[in-house]
Amino acid sequence: MIPSPGTFLHRRLTTLLALIAVLAFVSGAGFTAPALIPAAALLLLGLVWNPPDRLRRRLELFWRALALLLALRAGYQALFVPTDLVLPMVDLLLLLVVAETFRAQDAAGEARLYALTFALLIAAAAYRPGALFGASFVAYLAVLTVTLMVGQLNRQARLRQLPQPRLPARFLAQSAALSAVALAVSVVVFLAFPRVSWGARAAPVSRTVTGFADRVSLLGHGSRIYPNPELVLRVEFPSGAAPPASERYWRGRSYDRFDGWTWSRTAARAHRMIETRQWPAERTEQLVYQATLRDANVLFGLSPLLDVRPRSRILPYREPNGDFTYGGSAEPVYTAVSVRGQPGAEALRSAAAAAAAGREEARGLAATAGVPAALRSYLRLPPLEPRVYALADSLAAAHANSYDRTIAVRDWLRDNLAYTLDLPATVAEASLDHFLFERRAGHCEYFSTAMAVLLRAVGIPARNVNGFLGGEWNEFGDFLAVTQNQAHSWVEVWFPSYGWVRFDPTPASVGALAAAAATPWWSSPGFLFADLEHRWSKWVLDYGLEDQGQLLRQLSEPFRPAEGAADAPAAVSWWRVVIAAMVLLLLAAALRSRASRTSDRPPSGAASRAYLRLRRAYARAGFPRQGPALTFLRQLELAQAPGMDAAGRAVRLYAQVRFGGKQLDVAGKRRLREDVLGVERLLRASRSRAPEVPR
């Protein structure tokens, strides 16, 4: 059977619809479902190829067998494997979409295909997709509108055994344009529907994080660290400019315990993170939109981070070690408050020297003398090779205070070791002493670990800190975009009177910051996309009750009386003019539409009214009333209708007025009226003489 052009058009449209739904799913879950690529390939094939019926029947068996297998797999995973159930279901869904696309389409099959593609969109929504979903959604709605319209016309034609209608390209374009109505309603519902939810919100599926992780481990080996441009933080600075690149340390987690391979946190003890009285007084606020990180409910802010105020439904918690974590499953949006800048070198040196003097007085005590008990855990070390201690001592020996010793260690690491993203080849090569003495190259976690260990070895409390360094400033969106590529580790060293102060021993970070500062915004290929992603997250994914309130306030702003408006003279504001103009335009459009609807009405005027009354009278009496005026008169003559003389006069006068431009004076109107009344009397009389109509 050769399909008609209309049928093939509809098939192509449904295939395109399925492809867009697949794209929407990819925008959220990526290519995680194994069936995605084969399904997309088959759908692309379906755009240009229509299988013959015989092959279609054979394929049907194949689809059914495969669907059974995938259904069994999904059932097995649901019952026995504690994993994401969505992906096996999506595999099954994709198979059904492809199978339905290649089937001979009937009304039920078409409906199934629409439903399946929509289900793919719903599945995509579960994965917190990016801005690509928005583009896919708009495209889906446009293609769906066209597909539904074409499908409905085809079905109607099939039902009536008519040929499939030939649909011009203009019709298809118009249909696609009409989807703007559905899109507008969708946006209004989205913006206006109150964000109140029943019960528990489903937790969003976590992202795969290759940059930041809530652990620092040196066990990685046999590969290299691949870049990951995934956006993690979008930061706005509502109260001022962004800090310089050298100060963009986004602090996350700190670790006190090192076992030789891995950093972890022991039971936290209460102590203040920093002594804020001694630090610079200037504060900086950051509005942070943070992506959900897998296994890490950490909040980030510029180091040192003082406070966090939530803006989404999260519950921030400041841990005793100064880290901020949160509870709740919403996407974290919060305001972070940080100190701007760091204590100066001289101040730290003085504080360190004073502490060293105190220790001199307490000569004979342990190396930890002078260190508060709460900080003792920051001095513990695992068993290390003697050469590590030897190195620490050699670096510290020339300096009398902890600040200078810290700087010495940091500079040695920066100057003598190299930065690389290549991981050690074996586990044995992944150890700290192998990094310090043999390999002499590693990534940031090696540098921060080495510095913390070397400082602890000489009695200086130090801890490893995880977070991000840098960020790309977006001129259009006025925000800083921080990606997984910028995940970083550094060290915090404790100084009396100041608390924890940041030091970064990684040589690459210096160069990276300098490069970032020098990089023009337009050189970044993902710049515009990052802006789009930011807006998408801010206005779509993270849109909540608070944003609705803000939007409502903005919309009602023009209608609110200005302060002191009661005393001020009435001023015509621009928005009132705009609203008045819009109302007038709508009225004009409505009147015009009404006029066009009533354009079929006969012209008004006494002659026209009399003529129509005459026609109605004859019609009631059962005489024909088709055709223009003179034809109507001729029909009356043929039917020997009563009152022909008066009717003839009236009709001829009407024709002269209506088409001949004759003016109807008062006497003419009277004559016309008398003629029509005379005809009506005659017709009534003739009807009353006629016998009753049997019913």
Partner 1 sequence: MSGNTWRQRLAGLRQRLRPQRRLRLQRSGIVVILGVFSLGLATLNTGNNLLYLLVGALLGLITLSGWVSERALTGIHIARRSPFGVTAGQPVRIEYRVSNRKRRLPTAGLELRDAELRRGEVRVRPEIVEPAFLSLVPAGEHALAAEVITVPRRGLYRFERLQLATTYPFGMFTKERDVRVPGTMVVWPRTDRPVPRVRAAAGRRASHQPAAARFVPGVERGEYRGLRSYRPGDDPRDIHWRSTARRGEPIVREYDRDPGDSIWIVLDLAAPDEASGEVAVELAASLAADASGRGERFGFAAGGVSLPPPAGGGSHLDAVLDLLARVELGPGHALHLPARPGECLLVTAGSAGGEDFAAVVRPGTGAAARADKP
- Rounded to the nearest whole angstrom, what is the least distance from the CB of residue 474 to partner 1 in the complex? 22
Question: By CB under 8 A, is residue 690 in contact with partner 1?
Answer: yes
- Rounded to the nearest whole angstrom, what is the least distance from the CB of residue 573 to partner 1 in the complex? 32
Member of 199, 386, 520, 569 binding partner 1 (CB under 8 A): 199
Cα 218 from Cα 432, distance rounded (Å) = 8
Question: By CB under 8 A, is residue 54 in contact with partner 1?
Answer: no
Cα 98 from Cα 483, distance rounded (Å) = 36
Question: By CB under 8 A, is residue 685 in contact with partner 1?
Answer: no
The DSSP symbol for 302 reads E
Strand segments, DSSP code E, in 79-203 are none
- Rounded to the nearest whole angstrom, what is the least distance from the CB of residue 604 to partner 1 in the complex? 18
Question: By CB under 8 A, is residue 601 in contact with partner 1?
Answer: no
The DSSP symbol for 105 reads P
- Rounded to the nearest whole angstrom, what is the least distance from the CB of residue 75 to partner 1 in the complex? 22
Q: Which CB sits closer to partner 1, 153 or 407?
A: 153
Member of 175, 254, 286, 466 binding partner 1 (CB under 8 A): 175
Cα 648 from Cα 652, distance rounded (Å) = 6
Task: Write the binding mask 96 to 115 for partner 1: x where contact by CB under 8 A, - elsewhere.
Answer: ---------------x---x
Cα 352 from Cα 354, distance rounded (Å) = 5
> Helix, strand, coil % (nearest 5) of the chain?
55, 15, 35
- 24 touches 129 (CB < 8 A): yes
- Rounded to the nearest whole angstrom, what is the least distance from the CB of residue 148 to partner 1 in the complex? 5
Other beta carbons within 10 angstroms of residue 144's beta carbon come to 23
- # residues near partner 1 by CB under 8 A: 70
Question: By CB under 8 A, is residue 144 in contact with partner 1?
Answer: yes
Question: By CB under 8 A, is residue 588 in contact with partner 1?
Answer: no
Q: Is 134 left (phi over 0), alpha (psi -120 to 50) or beta?
A: alpha
- Rounded to the nearest whole angstrom, what is the least distance from the CB of residue 327 to partner 1 in the complex? 16
Q: Is 598 left (phi over 0), alpha (psi -120 to 50) or beta?
A: alpha
Question: By CB under 8 A, is residue 661 in contact with partner 1?
Answer: no
Contacts of 259 (CB under 8 A, 6+ apart): 382
- Rounded to the nearest whole angstrom, what is the least distance from the CB of residue 514 to partner 1 in the complex? 40
Strand pairing category for 283-290 and 333-339: antiparallel
Residues of span 613-632 touching partner 1 by CB under 8 A: 619, 622, 624-626
Question: By CB under 8 A, is residue 543 in contact with partner 1?
Answer: yes
Tokens 């059904």 identify what position? 96
Q: Which CB sits closer to partner 1, 118 or 529?
A: 118
Cα 198 from Cα 264, distance rounded (Å) = 38
Question: By CB under 8 A, is residue 695 in contact with partner 1?
Answer: yes
Q: Which CB sits closer to partner 1, 46 or 129?
A: 129
Cα 133 from Cα 121, distance rounded (Å) = 9
Q: Which CB sits closer to partner 1, 407 or 540?
A: 540
Cα 517 from Cα 417, distance rounded (Å) = 24
Member of 53, 346, 360, 692 binding partner 1 (CB under 8 A): 692
Cα 500 from Cα 494, distance rounded (Å) = 4
Contacts of 535 (CB under 8 A, 6+ apart): 131, 477
At residue 243, the 3 state secondary structure works out as coil
Q: Which CB sits closer to partner 1, 640 or 663?
A: 640
Question: By CB under 8 A, is residue 688 in contact with partner 1?
Answer: no
Q: What are the residues binding partner 1 (CB under 8 A)?
A: 111, 115, 118, 121-122, 124-126, 129, 133, 137, 141, 144-145, 148-149, 151-153, 155-157, 160, 162, 165, 167-168, 170-171, 174-175, 178-179, 181-190, 193, 195-199, 201-202, 540-543, 596-597, 599-600, 619, 622, 624-626, 690-695
